[in-house]
Amino acid sequence: MTDSWMATLDAFECHLNVQAALVENGRYDEVVGFTPPEDLPAMPRPLVSRASELLSRAQTLTQRAVAIREETARRLGQSRHPTFAERAVPAYVDHQA
């Protein structure tokens, strides 16, 4: 029972390390979620703290990826709408005419 959970938590930790490296290198389209085996028994109490730590890391990584996505969307939105100062007087009118 403990062996299957240890292997799953090891795999989750490895997965988090890979996903964090992908985010750090800007390879967001390759980031995928972790899917644990469906047939896991109840988690043994001694492993709860490690599982909680890994879950916290996953949530932090998710928040970082979302923040990067939102910042990228904001920047893209700005680049599509360049701001130009409007002149009170047209610039290409001959005022002497």
Cβ atoms of 43 and 2 within 8 Å: the answer is: no
Whole-structure pTM value? 0.73
Domain of 63, in residue numbers: 2-71
Give a yes or no: residue 82 inside a domain. no
Q: Which of 34, 36, 35, 45 is nearest to 1 (CA)?
A: 45
Give a yes or no: residue 24 inside a domain. yes
Give a yes or no: residue 96 inside a domain. no
State the pLDDT at residue 12.
Answer: 97
Q: Give the pLDDT band (50/70/90) at residue 2.
A: confident
Give a yes or no: residue 87 inside a domain. no
Q: Give the pLDDT band (50/70/90) at residue 16.
A: very high
Cβ atoms of 47 and 13 within 8 Å: the answer is: no
Q: Which two tokens stand for residue 16?
A: 């988090």
The pLDDT tens digits for 20-42 are: 999 999 888 899 999 999 999 99
Q: Which two tokens stand for residue 50?
A: 């490690």
The pLDDT tens digits for 85-96 are: 666 666 666 667
Cβ atoms of 23 and 65 within 8 Å: the answer is: yes
The total of structural domains in the chain comes to: 1
pLDDT above 80 (res 9): yes
